[in-house]
């Protein structure tokens, strides 16, 4: 099994808004087991550690407490049915998904935003839960936007976009990222900017989809990364963080966000946003900005309870 690259792992952790996951393992007879959870958290990059929390009353408690490892499947926005299936006492949960044994042996699903196959590093009793700490032995990260859950309802990129589409004079930009580089385009005046477009009657999701198609990049619409009112241009601005599967583009180029590049960003608000993105990429911990083009606050994307 190949050694984990810390940078690639950090990018994978930061590639999605941590939300709904399905934790899987094998019982002592080799049968697959799993449950829905939203308490997946990255712990360390060196060594690469993650944790999930298991309720003491779970029917999977004994099997997972004694398991040699587990996998975390980060569900995509179109996998609500998978989340519901693994959250209920269904007789054969795994009949609802296409899955295979991961490199370390735990079940990993097709069509997810990411999966992490882990060996069991440590278990820690904590009140009415057992904390499972796993060492990441293998992982894959995909472009599918993730499925979130908040206040009793699922949250998806499409739902976020349409909720904001009623604003007048709305501009959408695509913060398309691949391994720390961001797609930037010529602003027509010697500077650089993000791909952006005015939102028409068909909504923000359609505008974002068009931007991605025009760039020639293989990527899918992602989560809202920044929302602000641009008083200088009398418009509202939404920027979506999208993951690309490669650096091939027909419009613009993927560029490292170093000091020289940031000096070429002509929109001060976008420059500030990209400075934040560069810092959060290094930390692997992302938030959402709310405010105007001058001041606001960053609300962290939490991992749930």
The residue-averaged pLDDT of 261-285 equals 81
Distance CA 16, CA 30 (A): 31
pLDDT of residue 15: 47
Instruction: Spell out the domain ranges in the chain.
Output: 6-150, 157-293
pLDDT of residue 287: 43
Fold classification of 157-293 (topology level): Nucleoside Triphosphate Pyrophosphohydrolase (3.90.79)
The residue-averaged pLDDT of 131-159 equals 72
Average pLDDT, the chain: 79
Higher pLDDT, 194 or 78: 194
Strand order in the sheet with 129-141: 32-37, 21-26, 69-74, 114-126, 129-141, 48-55, 41-45
Higher pLDDT, 108 or 305: 108
Q: Which residue do the tokens 């599918």 mark? A: 144
The residue-averaged pLDDT of 20-24 equals 90
**CB-side neighbour CA atoms (13 Å) of 205:** 9
Residue 206: CB atoms within 10 A of its CB come to 18
Range with the poorest average pLDDT among 157-161, 266-270, 288-292: 288-292
Higher pLDDT, 18 or 254: 254
Distance CA 290, CA 298 (A): 6
Q: Which residue do the tokens 């057992």 mark? A: 130
CA-based R_g, the chain, Å:
20
Condensed to tens digits (0 to 9), the pLDDT of residues 218-235 reads 987 777 777 777 666 777
The residue-averaged pLDDT of 135-144 equals 84
Distance CA 141, CA 251 (A): 24
pTM: 0.58
- Provide the pLDDT confidence category of residue 297 given band limits of 50, 70 and 90: very low
Distance CA 18, CA 148 (A): 7
134, pLDDT greater than 80: yes
- Provide the pLDDT confidence category of residue 192 given band limits of 50, 70 and 90: very high
Q: Which of 57, 13, 16, 12 is nearest to 35 (CA)?
A: 57
Tell me how far CA of residue 230 lies from CA of 157, 187, 237, 266, 290, in angstroms: 22, 17, 7, 14, 12
Distance CA 51, CA 223 (A): 23
The residue-averaged pLDDT of 40-45 equals 78
58, pLDDT greater than 70: yes
The residue-averaged pLDDT of 42-66 equals 86
CATH number for the segment(s) 6-150: 2.30.110.10
Beta strand 153-155 with 148-150 is antiparallel
In the chain, the percentage of residues whose pLDDT exceeds 70 is 76
Residue 109: both structure tokens together = 């699903």
- Provide the pLDDT confidence category of residue 193 given band limits of 50, 70 and 90: very high
- Provide the pLDDT confidence category of residue 11 given band limits of 50, 70 and 90: low
Higher pLDDT, 16 or 89: 89
């Amino acid at each position: 099994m190949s050694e984990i690259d810390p940078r690639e792992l950090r990018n994978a952790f930061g590639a999605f808004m941590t939300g709904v996951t399905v934790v899987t393992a094998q019982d002592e007879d080799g049968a697959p087991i799993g449950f829905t959870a939203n308490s997946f958290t990255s712990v360390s990059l060196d060594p690469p550690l993650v944790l999930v929390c298991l309720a003491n009353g779970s029917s999977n408690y004994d099997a997972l407490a004694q398991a040699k490892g587990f996998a975390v499947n980060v569900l995509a926005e179109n996998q609500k049915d998978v989340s519901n299936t693994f959250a209920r006492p269904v007789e054969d949960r795994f009949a609802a998904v296409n899955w295979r044994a991961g490199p370390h042996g735990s079940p990993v699903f097709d069509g997810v935003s990411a999966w992490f196959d882990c060996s069991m590093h440590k278990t820690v009793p904590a009140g009415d839960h057992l904390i499972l700490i796993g060492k990441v032995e293998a992982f894959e990260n995909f472009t599918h936007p993730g499925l979130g859950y908040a206040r009793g309802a699922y949250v998806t990129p499409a739902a976020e976009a349409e909720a904001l589409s009623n604003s007048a004079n709305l501009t959408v930009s695509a913060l398309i990222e691949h391994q720390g580089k961001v797609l930037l385009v010529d602003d027509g005046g010697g500077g650089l900017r993000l791909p952006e477009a005015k939102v028409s009657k068909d909504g923000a999701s359609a505008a974002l989809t068009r931007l991605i198609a025009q760039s020639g990049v293989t990527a899918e619409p992602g989560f809202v990364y920044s929302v602000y009112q641009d008083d200088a241009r009398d418009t509202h601005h939404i920027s979506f963080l999208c993951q690309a599967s490669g650096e091939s583009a027909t419009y613009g180029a993927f560029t490292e966000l170093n000091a020289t590049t940031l000096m070429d960003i002509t929109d001060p608000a976008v420059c500030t946003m990209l400075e934040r993105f560069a810092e959060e990429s290094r930390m692997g911990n992302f938030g959402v900005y709310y405010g105007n083009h001058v001041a606001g606050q960053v609300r962290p994307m939490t991992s749930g309870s």
